[in-house]
Amino acid sequence: MKKMILLLAVVAFCSVTAAVAVPPGKTLEFTKSPMGKVIFSGQIHKDAGVKCMECHNKDVFPKMKFGTVEIKMADIYAGNYCGVCHNGKRAFEAKANCNRCHVK
Ligand code: HEC
Ligand code: HEC
Ligand code: HEC
């Protein structure tokens, strides 16, 4: 019985941390660019008033799972992925601000 309670406690604890370990509290690191890695902060986006659904919908980032989209700058400039907002209107423009996303 004690073992059972312990097991339940562990399961409950894991599901709580799993629910917390997502954006906004989390950062994602995109490391594939020669321009330097891109650190995406869920918190900054939440604080800027961006809703989950604005990004997590079938046209932008369909899956809440890191690594399911491959982001190229051509897509961003064309207004896809990060470029849905980083176009100088909703948020700073990608073309003129490489180093606000890419850090060495
Ligand atoms: C500004 C855009 C944006 C907003 C807003 C956003 N996300 Fe995300 N989220 C992303 C991106 C980009 C990924 C990575 C997706 C991929 O690689 O396919 C991601 C991934 C995730 C993941 C998976 C993390 C991992 O390590 O695999 C979860 C969970 C998630 N988001 C939950 C949320 C929740 C909950 C909200 C709202 C509170 C939210 N997101 C708001 C852009 C956003
Ligand atoms: C739904 C709109 C939206 C999408 C999609 C989005 N962002 Fe943002 N982002 C914002 C807003 C709004 C801000 C805060 C205003 C600003 O800094 O221009 C922001 C701020 C940022 C900042 C903070 C920069 C600084 O100097 O403080 C970074 C970095 C960033 N975004 C990277 C990304 C990356 C990388 C992606 C794609 C994975 C992405 N964003 C997708 C709306 C968005
Ligand atoms: C809004 C955030 C953001 C801005 C601003 C930005 N990038 Fe990116 N960039 C990304 C993300 C996200 C990736 C994907 C990285 C990965 O998959 O690891 C990327 C990938 C890249 C890549 C590799 C893929 C490809 O398309 O060849 C290069 C090169 C690159 N960026 C150059 C630039 C340059 C040059 C600028 C400025 C003119 C710039 N980036 C501005 C977010 C940004």
pLDDT in tens, 55-103: 999 999 999 999 999 999 999 999 999 999 999 999 999 999 999 999 9
Pocket of ligand 1 (CB under 6 A): 22-24, 28, 40, 42, 45-46, 50, 52, 54-56, 61, 63-69
- Higher-pLDDT residue of 70, 12: 70
Burial class from Cβ neighbours inside 10 Å (0-12, 13-18, 19+) for residue 94 reads buried
Instruction: Give residue 14's pLDDT band: very low, low, confident or very high (50, 70, 90).
Output: very low
Tokens coding 78: 């064309």
Ligand nearest to the CA of 75: 3
Does 24 score more than 90 pLDDT? no
* CB-based contacts of 88-92 (< 8 A; 24+ apart in sequence): 91/48
What is the reported pLDDT for 74?
Answer: 98
